A and B are shown apart, each in its own frame.
Chain A
Amino acid sequence: MSINKGKRAWIGMGIFSLLILSLVVSCGKKPQVQRGGVAEAAIATYVAPGDLDEYYLFYSGGHSGNVYVGGIPSMRHISTIPVFTPYPATGYGFDKESKQMLGEFTWGDAHHPSISETKGDYDGRWLFISDNANNRMARIDLRDFKTKQIFGPIPNVSGNHCSSFVTPNTEYVLAGSRFSIPLPRGTYAPLEQYATTYKGVVAGIAIDQKSGEMSLGWEILMPPFNYDLGDAGKGASEGWAFWTCYNSERATGKLEVTSTQKDRDYIAAVNWREAEKAIKEGKFKMIGGVKVIDPKDRPGVVYLLPCSKSPHGVDVSPDGKYIIGSGKLQSVTTAFNMEKIQTAIQNKDFTGDEDGIPVLNYDNIKDAEVNVGLGPLHTQFDDQGFAYTSLFVESAVAKWKLGSWEVVDKIPITYNIGHLAAAEGDTAHPTGKYLVALNKLSHGRHLSVGPSQPESTQLINIAGDKMKLLYDAFTEPEPHYSQIIKADKLKPIEVYPKEENKNPNAIWDVKDSKVERNASNVTVKMVAVRSSFEPNKLEVNQGDKVTIHVTNIEQTTDELHGVGINEYNINVVIDPGETKTIEFVASKPGVFAFYCTNFCSALHQEMQGYLLVKPK
């Protein structure tokens, strides 16, 4: 594409987006999407009382720090899994263990969820979610829907956005830097040295196959681009990991302008088996306390695929043959062919390099540029060989055929779709039927709630030739991506079995409850059961360090109890069979009630006690 042509397209697109924007504004008050087939859509999404949804929808809660769980096709929000933010509703961030997990941070930017995979398909063991703000990765256990580990801040990673995509057998979950910085983190270098001194990093977080425990696998030192999104290769591309990057200009300042000057940026392709070898060979540097591979010193680990301007999503087709990269500032999506990529690598068909990383010859590695529409971002797949690409600027989803590359259908979205997720649509075997559009703007498609607006999430039927809008749901900020998994793949427990509670401070009989004092340390072993706490009188001295180990000895689903202490800023919720630890210093003298915060029974109001703090 010549510069002139590029400019023309750019101006044309600008005018077009203005047109779209004005359309959006003028139609904002009325439902603009087709209203035909209302009854059909109603039946398709109606889940009768007592009936269950067909799929789980896990959607990230962005800067709320949470993960939300919904059901498809009802689109009902079912529960919230707190991850990076304290959440008094479940007592998360108030007990010792979750407080330790959260560490110094009280928020995170939960971006991309990914369900663990076996042979490229969801296995329903864990859900990983990245934190764009504080460079962390969390693991939720899908046996009990609880956050079990927060890994990080990951050394050297800055702005963990291009994360958390898993490799086909959950060997690794991907991480990387959206914002390049001088390394190791904590190093100072003036912004003028950005292009030379600042570095990006892409990484593989290793997953223990038994416990799911995360640890650092490998890191690769990258040029100071902005690593944006990723996906792991599978099938034909198994062993590879892909990351898009914008700002290959290595620009700083007003990136809106400075990073959008080139016609092409890159997709970084990492051969992670080679990365493993490099680590074994000792070909790494220690940076920030971890092993980092410099591609200059170890060829064969990473290559760059030129991709249309400022790419956002990169998505691997179910068979792994195609790597779909979308340049968000152009109107085409590029389908790279994995076989051609490997041939180009073998033939050293390079057109240059970036800091020693070979750049592959664009013309020889692509199969097609698919004319999907304006502002393509992300692509998902169904079980019929179709791909679905979200179009932010055009506010639509384009359906197109892998292989023949023709766009066969388009559906308008209200409004400004970001991510989209098809049922198991990023696995080796998508199940089709449903697609969820995760939109950035809701523009009055709901009862007005003032200036702070929810996001809109739309359910689309993709079973037929034409996509059909079924349902508008509204979600808290801000769903960045979601995972849709067949309901029967998950078998969560609802009670922690007594036999599994190995907490040394757990007690199961009211007779074992006690208060022990050791100098100024007061340790309480407490039982919570319908409808009392034992002990229910805690006498301490001002300044004592109080530790309460409380066990909910119920073994029945939904019999949760809470321990809220007035004016001590504590609320811990204990699930049936669970033991949690509350630690605080009794700094305020006086008498403070504690009570069950999670409604439990007919005598819930009576489930209370007193913390008596004798003044010094």
Chain B
Amino acid sequence: MPDTESFFDRTLTLKSRLALLLAAVILLPVYFFPLWNMTFRSNQYTDGLVLHIYAFELQGGKTPNRDDLREINSLNHYIGMRPLLESDFSEFVWLPFVIGALMLLSLRALVIGKMANVIDVFVLFSYFGLFSLWSFYHRLYTYGHNLDPTAAIKVPPFTPPLFGAKQIANFSVTSYPDIASFSLFAFALLLAAAILLSVRRTANA
């Protein structure tokens, strides 16, 4: 290998490639587990109304005696909040594709084996991750701020919590990431590992 080899042209080590393989695999749970969970607790709902946000759908907690998504929408209509409708979320269409693309790009980097490919995926993912977080926050902001002025109960505009707990009227709302988000986080870590593992080898060489 010529020593003039630039950082981006570097060939990936076996360990880096394994990290990339693992990165691709670790995204699989995104198709099965929620990204985020929100729980709405009040005196009437001590067990909490639950909202699971997946990459591809919105799912309310469902027991034989309650359909939480339906219930959340029923309650929200009093303050004039738009009902949460799956059809309003274009994310559910393109997110699964993006996840698939990230998996394929990781595998592509593994096969081609150049640092540049890993960097590409990492940059793309960073952009995607930050955009998604911003988009999620924006969604929450929009739902809480575009309240129907004719609503029966007037509440000051608000933003439901993205992370952590918040009291909204009689509800204590908590919002935390779930398995699919951890997958995405692990994906980022594995990409970083793939980069570092090849950096170190070159340093040693």
Q: Which residues of A contact B (CB under 8 A)?
A: 493-495, 497, 529-531, 554-557, 601-603, 606
Contact = CB atoms under 8 A, between A and B. Distances in A.
Nearest to A557: B65
Interface residues of B, number: 11
Given A555-B71, A556-B71, A602 B65 contact: no
Across the A-B interface, give the 4 residue pairs with the lowest CB-CB distance, nearest first: A555-B67, A557-B65, A494-B65, A556-B66
Contacts of B71: 555-556
B153 interface: yes
A497 B152 CA distance: 28
Contacts of A603: 78, 152
Given A556-B66, A603-B152, 6 more contacts: A493-B64, A530-B78, A531-B152, A556-B67, A602-B78, A602-B152
A557 B152 contact: no
B74 interface: yes
Interface of B: 64-67, 70-71, 74, 77-78, 152-153
Given A602-B153, A603-B152, A555 B66 contact: yes
A531 B153 CA distance: 13
Contact of B74 (A493, A495, A497, A556): A556
A493 B67 CA distance: 13
Contacts of A554: 70, 74
A20 B187 CA distance: 86
B57 to A, nearest CB: 18
Given A555-B71, A602-B153, A603-B152, A495 B78 contact: no
B66 A495 contact: yes
B74 A530 contact: yes
Nearest to B68: A556
Contacts of A494: 64-65
A529 B74 contact: yes
Contacts of B77: 530
- Looking at chain A's contact residues, the main secondary structure is loop
25 contacts: A493-B64, A493-B65, A494-B64, A495-B64, A495-B67, A529-B74, A530-B74, A530-B78, A531-B152, A554-B70, A554-B74, A555-B66, A555-B70, A556-B65, A556-B66, A556-B67, A556-B71, A556-B74, A557-B66, A602-B78, A602-B152, A602-B153, A603-B78, A603-B152, A606-B152
B159 to A, nearest CB: 24
A557 B65 CA distance: 5
Contacts of A530: 74, 77-78
A531 B70 CA distance: 14
- Looking at chain B's contact residues, the main secondary structure is mixed
Contacts of B152: 531, 602-603, 606
Contacts of A556: 65-67, 70-71, 74
A5 B70 CA distance: 75
**Interface core residue of A530, A556, A603 (most chain B CB under 10 Å):** A556
A496 B65 CA distance: 8
B59 to A, nearest CB: 14
A556 to B, nearest CB: 5
**Interface core residue of B65, B70, B71, B78 (most chain A CB under 10 Å):** B65
A530 B71 CA distance: 10
Contacts of B67: 495, 555-556
A495 B65 contact: yes
A529 B71 CA distance: 11
A497 B64 contact: yes
Nearest to B44: A558
A493 B66 CA distance: 10
A494 B71 CA distance: 15
Nearest to B69: A555
Contacts of B153: 602
Contacts of A529: 74
Nearest to B66: A556
**Interface core residue of A554, A555, A601 (most chain B CB under 10 Å):** A555
A497 B70 CA distance: 12
Contacts of A497: 64
A601 B44 CA distance: 12
A529 B77 CA distance: 11
A154 B78 CA distance: 52
A229 to B, nearest CB: 38
B180 to A, nearest CB: 26
B83 to A, nearest CB: 11
A494 B64 CA distance: 7
A495 B67 CA distance: 10
B193 to A, nearest CB: 46
Contacts of B74: 529-530, 554, 556
A177 to B, nearest CB: 43
A497 B66 CA distance: 9
A601 B153 CA distance: 13
Nearest to A559: B74
A606 B152 CA distance: 10
A497 B64 CA distance: 8
Nearest to A529: B74
Contacts of A606: 152
A602 B42 CA distance: 15
A495 B71 CA distance: 13
Contacts of B64: 493-495, 497
A603 B152 CA distance: 8
Contacts of A531: 152
B155 to A, nearest CB: 13
A75 B74 CA distance: 36
A603 to B, nearest CB: 6
Nearest to A553: B70
B86 to A, nearest CB: 15
A24 to B, nearest CB: 47
A599 to B, nearest CB: 13
B70 to A, nearest CB: 5
Contacts of A602: 78, 152-153
A531 B151 CA distance: 12
A494 B66 CA distance: 9
A507 to B, nearest CB: 15
Contacts of B66: 495, 555-557
